[in-house]
Structure 1
Amino acid sequence: MGTRVSYPVEIKMKAIEMRLAGVPVNQVLEELNIRNRTQLQTWMKWYRNEEHHRLEQPVGKQYTFGKGPEYENETAQLKAENRYLKQQIEVFKKVRRVGKEVVPKVVVQLVDELKGMMTIGEICDHLGVGRSSYYRWKKNNNVETDKEVRDKKIGELCKLHRFRYGYRKIMSIYGEAISKNTVQKVMQKHGWQCRVKEKKRKRTGQPAYITPNILNRDFTAEAPFEKLVTDITYLPFGQSMMYLSSILDVFNGEIVAQTIGYTQDTAFVLDTLNQLPKLPEGCILHSDQGSVYTSYAYQEAVKEKGIIMSMSRKGTPADNSPIETFHSSLKSETFYLDGIYRTTNAHVIQIVENYINYYNNIRIQTKLNSQSPVEYRQLAAM
């Protein structure tokens, strides 16, 4: 058995946000250095089920023995219980729906599972079906439905051609009238897609070069604008996906530039970079190895400002932890704290801008002698 890896909640949330933004699974695993795609699927399931407390629990047993899941508070527990009841209702809706293919199999399965606890007649009453219907369905339970026959034939064709064909070719040799969308959905459902040529995804920006990790996790500075860190975070809370590009001064943790946009391209991060004032000689700007930061246009703009570029090692977010921590705090202390998971784009922008103003001017930090970033910088200048 391999060694189990424990991922910090910041990594989990960033992975979830990347998937919500449509980033391919393999790219998420590679950029965040996540070993197993099943782990990512589990995090996504917890997020969709609003079980956010589970993301903060350690690796291993997720429940206290005999007590069920550990919730943050009573409200979270009530939400979970309410969601469970809704799921039960939906299950029974599906069972009672007039479906000529799904319902009989489900009813037969449920009766077989529950007949040790109650009579078949009682179970049928609860499910809203007649006993005669149950026995008829049970008798024909092994008879394949039209959809099952169709799916089986598509699968046989895919295997016959050793998964060399895509859905269009499978449709053409199917032998009967069938929609290409139907064939595509069936092949995607069962993982029967063409395995010959994997589609290549074009990355944003024109790659230039990757710089070494000059900062090397030395997050201390003697003066403002001596060391800066930057990154992009996802804002999946509005009507459409948005992104926040920000630059943080390591000296006092102050956000000195930020941009909110709908596309994370080179122009997006250049807008943030151009907000910086005149910088002292030898200023270091640290980022990850994202394509927007390695692009030719961004590298040229950095050189023009006299900035020394530094980059994290691949799949190592901890190399850029100050900005990662800020983005985590931003979401934890606003959207997650207030239970805001879907709102308007304008509201998302307002929340982010208000928080950055609060973070810079009001929110105290222990490492800054219990002062806000702006207060600490102003006192240091005296």
Structure 2
Amino acid sequence: MRLSGIQSVIRRKKKPYKRSTPQHIAENLLNRKFQADAPNEKWLTDVTEFKYGNGQKAYLSAILDLHGNTIVSYVLGHSNNNQLVFMTLDKAREAAPDAKPMLHSDRGFQYTSRAFKRKLDKANMTQSMSRVGRCIDNGPMEAFWGTLKCEMYYLNTYRTLKNSRRTLTPISTFTITGVYRQN
């Protein structure tokens, strides 16, 4: 192939992934107990990626209340960064100012930062984190993303973030029933 001047395009090199060292790790207090007896008792949070246009990406951060499986707050942005997650938490606190829930997340860099821990401490919230490599520990949130993408995202083609935002805006009223049940 080299002598003929041709090359394969099947196996493209991927960009190297930089691992970050967590600044703060919390115990898995949720421990797959996905039932909540009252609103604002247990919240789950995560960020997912949406592609639009010509290879561009948008990131959606949301907080899900396990009581009723409803979205407390969400923010759609261009970057998966601390600001996106912080804005989502701030909007959740505005929606439920007196709430002191347990907030469960994966071990993403935003959730393991000292700044995020300070925000939770200031709000008197308890932090819980999934174990490394165990996405099932955040099962209802992952199931929510799957359902959202199947019912609202994969059915359309988005050329701009504005079009994506218009379609994804109703997620505050998007409720999942029977999202995840532990056997």
Superposed CA offset, 1:336-359 (max 9, x none): 2x2x244221111111112x1441
2:134 is aligned with 1:319: no
2:58 to 242, 247, 251: 242
Superposed CA offset, 1:1-48 (max 9, x none): xxxxxxxxxxxxxxxxxxxxxxxxxxxxxxxxxxxxxxxxxxxxxxxx
Superposed CA offset, 1:281-325 (max 9, x none): 4x2000000111001111111111001000001111110011111
Contact 1:246 1:258 in 2 (8 A): yes
1:274 to 90, 93, 110: 90
What corresponds to 1:262 in structure 2?
78
Match runs of 1:1-382 below 5 Å:
145=3, 147=5, 201=18, 203=20, 207-239=22-54, 240-276=56-92, 277-281=96-100, 283-336=101-154, 338=155, 340-354=156-170, 356-360=171-175, 365=177
Q: Which has the higher helix share?
A: 1
Contact 2:68 2:177 in 1 (8 A): no
Distance 1:225 1:320, change over 3 A: same
TM-score using structure 1 length: 0.41
Larger Rg: 1
User: Could you list the runs of 4 or more consecutive aligned residues of structure 1 that deviate by over 4 angstroms after TM superposition?
Assistant: none
Contact 2:72 2:172 in 1 (8 A): no
Taking the aligned partners of 1:358 and 1:249, their CA distance within structure 2 comes to 12
Q: What's the offset of the Cα at 1:200?
A: 7.1
Distance 1:315 1:279, change over 3 A: farther
Taking the aligned partners of 2:86 and 2:140, their CA distance within structure 1 comes to 20
Distance 1:238 1:322, change over 3 A: farther
Structure 2 counterpart of 1:322, one-letter code: P
Higher RCO by CA contacts (8 Å cutoff, separation 6 or greater): 2
Number of aligned residue pairs: give it.
171
Contact 2:22 2:113 in 1 (8 A): yes
Structure 2 counterpart of 1:315, one-letter code: G
Contact 2:43 2:104 in 1 (8 A): yes
Distance 1:318 1:244, change over 3 A: same
TM-score using structure 2 length: 0.82
Contact 1:225 1:279 in 2 (8 A): no
Long gaps (5+) in structure 2: none
Structure 2 counterpart of 1:231, one-letter code: D
Taking the aligned partners of 1:358 and 1:254, their CA distance within structure 2 comes to 7
Q: What's the offset of the Cα at 1:210?
A: 0.9
Structure 2 counterpart of 1:302, one-letter code: L
Taking the aligned partners of 1:331 and 1:201, their CA distance within structure 2 comes to 27
Contact 1:238 1:348 in 2 (8 A): no
Taking the aligned partners of 2:149 and 2:177, their CA distance within structure 1 comes to 17
CA RMSD, 1 decimal: 2.8
Taking the aligned partners of 1:147 and 1:268, their CA distance within structure 2 comes to 46
Distance 1:190 1:318, change over 3 A: closer
Q: What's the offset of the Cα at 1:267?
A: 1.2
Contact 1:228 1:284 in 2 (8 A): yes
Distance 1:145 1:319, change over 3 A: closer
Q: What's the offset of the Cα at 1:145?
A: 4.4
Taking the aligned partners of 1:334 and 1:267, their CA distance within structure 2 comes to 25
